[in-house]
A and B are shown apart, each in its own frame.
Chain A
Amino acid sequence: MYQYDAFDRTFVAERVAEFREQTRRFLAGELSEDEFRPLRLRNGLYIQTHAPMLRVAIPYGLLSTRQLRMLAHIARRYDRGYGHFSTRQNIQYNWPKLAEVPDILAELASVEMHAIQTSGNCIRNVTSDHLAGVCADELEDPRPWCELIRQWSTLHPEFYYLPRKFKIAVTGSPNDRAASAIHDVGLHLVRGPDGSVGFEVLAGGGLGRMPILGKRIREFLPKPELLAYLEAILRVYNRYGRRDNIHRARIKVLVKALGVAEFTRQVEAEYAAARATAPQVSAAAIERLRACFTPPAYQALADRDPSAGADAAFTAWYRHNTRAHRISGYRVVFVSLKKHGEAPGDMSAAQMDALADLADWHSFGEVRVTHDQNLLLADVPQQALADLHGALAGLGLATPNIGTLTDMICCPGLDFCSLANAGSIGIAKQIHEQFDDFDYLYDLGEIQVKMSGCMNACGHHHVGHIGILGVDKHGEEWYQITLGGSAGTEAVLGEVIGPSVPRREVAATLARILEVYVAQRESDAESFLRVVRRIGVAPFKERVYAADTAAA
């Protein structure tokens, strides 16, 4: 993974010193809350329902075990012993003390981490495919490009005070596992007409109150032009994006208002006009970054079937929580943070420490964060799987539910967030209770449930196969259900099935929806998403609300 050099270390240390001084000024009354807000946000610090919330950047989801141990230390020393992994591949701490945040940032800096630009109206942490570098379907590893973008976007002098937040995702595989269509800019490494590799560029995606999928504005961009083109997009956005209404300020609103063709024309015109001064990505610069992401020292191992003769628990875990690796003899292992009774994405300090040990022993000392709030050990020798399973099970990190209904995405909701209408964590619990039969979950196959506690859509409900959105009705929690969304390669926004349902009815409503699926599927191989696309939402709607009437 990327290692800081003296240059990066100097920068992060100077940044910590700057924020320490800003915090001092705020606490001394020299800065008003309004003046301090944009400064603290750009250092990852929110003021939440109970306390400040600190969001620490995990660039494109990569962590060394040294860094993971530091995250555990911070959870223990400055928080309440746990952290929450988010859909942005970051970690959030819900109980830090404002006065201690500069110390936390200094501790993070000691392991080459920071919280810079994890919130605020600026370019946020770049995200990517959690299988980068280990999947067989990849055209090229996106991580050197992610790191290039991370550095370029850090304290960019011109694009530090944007109309609104700005999220970039990069994928190197035709199978989009980074939800790039719901980002302000999505970059896909693709092969161009002359056979060289460059980028397809999407712009204007985003969820929230106005969910829109990104539109392609460039079919093929040569690699050296990447930053020049991003600057053109950002300059058009910075100058012409709306600033009068926070709900109309994302780039998607500008793209929609201008139309894709006109927006593209303006970007291309700016790109052409800036040619003389725009940054070019030199071959040497990208080679230097590429050298940070060379494959680990794999052993020559033969593929084996570790589930042969193994017990049912291991077999279920092997089948659901591990994936093929491009190198023979190795396997990709998901660490499920979706155990019944735990808030999705939460992890204790003890679990972090123990997982760091396991990653040192079995996966070259690296851990990844996925955008659906699990962790991943990317390079596990198949011969180590049995031991690893035993250890993970002992830690409560081996729930064999990856890709199933209970592998839900879920925002922190009312329990922590000052924006939420609904307690998404409680709903997750209700769903776990209703669907506690793993054989039934396996029979249902792949279903992505995504849940947000409010319209801001941190839980990506619009692109869940089943989306659940918390809404407030006269002080009561109700839930709106959408079906058929997908964040994958052919991204689609889900369709609302009808009036929202009361809190106590959410899991039962899902059960009815799934009955329709099971009855309608043509074979076990026809997934929930395919059935929704084939038959539409009407049959589901009918079942859900007919039952409602019957109950009333």
Chain B
Amino acid sequence: MRQILRQRELTADRWRYPGEQGAGQQVRTLAELLAMTAGTAQATGAPDTGVLLGPADELEPLAPWIARLALVVVHFEKNGDGRGFSQGQLLRQRYGYRGELRAQGAVKRDQVFLLARCGFDAFDLDPAEDPQAALAQLGRFSVAYQPAVDLLVRPRQRA
């Protein structure tokens, strides 16, 4: 079973990504999610839905869903694609998303500190990466020059 570095702890994933079979709750693509909206009135209740965003996906269509989402997976196609950093920051700051925000794909220890600053609190790391090393990397910098969302990390900013 897939292990996720979530809230600084390695935990078994309870979700299934689009296209995956087997146990676990289904994560939907943005298109699937929006198709669901079309047929159903806006639901209430505890957040229970998961969605996976590609790097080019817009966030505005997600706005009506924010309160119902328990998981947003931001997919990083390749090392060096920075679009997901903006998606994370915007989901937290502009859309007020409070659930799990997971970076998935080409994610190694060298990215996790800045991802956490952008509001990510979970990492589905590159399979070759050592989760303990990634965890240690969250403590790499004790200071930072900019204000940010800062989940999991709390770098000191200049007074």
Question: Which residues of B have CB within 8 Å of A15?
Answer: 141
Interface stretch among A157-165, A308-316, A325-333? Answer: A157-165
Instruction: Tell me the complex Cα distance, A118–B85, Å.
Output: 21
B142 sits at the interface (CB 8 A): yes
In contact, B143 and A161 (Cβ under 8 angstroms): no
Partner of B79, one of A34, A151, A235, A238: A34
Question: In angstroms, how far is the closest chain B Cβ from the Cβ of A481?
Answer: 37
A274 sits at the interface (CB 8 A): yes
B93-117 contacts to A (CB < 8 Å): 93-94, 108, 110, 114-115, 117
Question: In angstroms, how far is the closest chain B Cβ from the Cβ of A468?
Answer: 34
Taking CB as reference atom, which chain A residue is nearest B137? Answer: A18
Taking CB as reference atom, which chain B residue is nearest A160? Answer: B114
B64 sits at the interface (CB 8 A): no
In contact, B94 and A121 (Cβ under 8 angstroms): no
Q: Mark A148-169, 1 if CB is under 8 A from B, else 0.
A: 0001101111111111000000
Taking CB as reference atom, which chain A residue is nearest B76? Answer: A161
Question: Which residues of B have CB within 8 Å of A17?
Answer: 140
- Chain B interface residue count, CB cutoff 8 Å, equals 27
Taking CB as reference atom, which chain A residue is nearest B83? Answer: A239
Chain A interface, >50% SS class: helix
In contact, B143 and A10 (Cβ under 8 angstroms): yes
A277 sits at the interface (CB 8 A): yes
Determine the interface band of chain A, counting residues with CB < 8 A from chain B.
20 to 34
Question: In angstroms, how far is the closest chain A Cβ from the Cβ of B107?
Answer: 12
Question: Which residues of B have CB within 8 Å of A151?
Answer: 145
In contact, B118 and A157 (Cβ under 8 angstroms): yes
Q: Mark A109-147, 1 if CB is under 8 A from B, else 0.
A: 000000000000100000000000000000000000000
Partner of B143, one of A14, A35, A159, A162: A14
B70 sits at the interface (CB 8 A): no
B146 sits at the interface (CB 8 A): yes
In contact, A157 and B117 (Cβ under 8 angstroms): yes
In contact, B79 and A38 (Cβ under 8 angstroms): yes
Instruction: Tell me the complex Cα distance, A534–B37, Å.
Output: 65
Q: Mark A4-25, 1 if CB is under 8 A from B, else 0.
A: 0001001100110110001000
Chain B interface, >50% SS class: loop
In contact, B86 and A235 (Cβ under 8 angstroms): yes
Taking CB as reference atom, which chain B residue is nearest A159? Answer: B82
Question: Which residues of A have CB within 8 Å of B117?
Answer: 157
Question: In angstroms, how far is the closest chain B Cβ from the Cβ of A315?
Answer: 48
Partner of B114, one of A157, A235, A239: A157
With A39-B110, A273-B94 known as contacts, the answer to whether A158 contacts B145 (CB < 8 A) is no
B147 sits at the interface (CB 8 A): yes
In contact, B82 and A162 (Cβ under 8 angstroms): yes
Instruction: Tell me the complex Cα distance, A154–B155, Å.
Output: 14
Instruction: Tell me the complex Cα distance, A121–B145, Å.
Output: 19
Question: Which residues of B have CB within 8 Å of A277?
Answer: 93-94
Instruction: Tell me the complex Cα distance, A121–B82, Å.
Output: 10
Question: Which residues of B have CB within 8 Å of A304?
Answer: none
A279 sits at the interface (CB 8 A): yes
Instruction: Tell me the complex Cα distance, A17–B117, Å.
Output: 20
5 sample A-B contacts, Cβ–Cβ < 8 Å, listed by A number: A7-B158, A15-B141, A35-B108, A157-B144, A159-B85
A-B pairs with lowest CB-CB distance, top 3: A161-B82, A157-B117, A157-B114
Known: A158-B86, A158-B118, A277-B94. 19 other contacts (CB 8 A): A7-B158, A14-B140, A18-B141, A38-B80, A121-B82, A152-B146, A154-B145, A155-B144, A155-B145, A156-B146, A157-B114, A157-B146, A159-B85, A161-B85, A163-B82, A238-B82, A238-B86, A243-B81, A279-B146
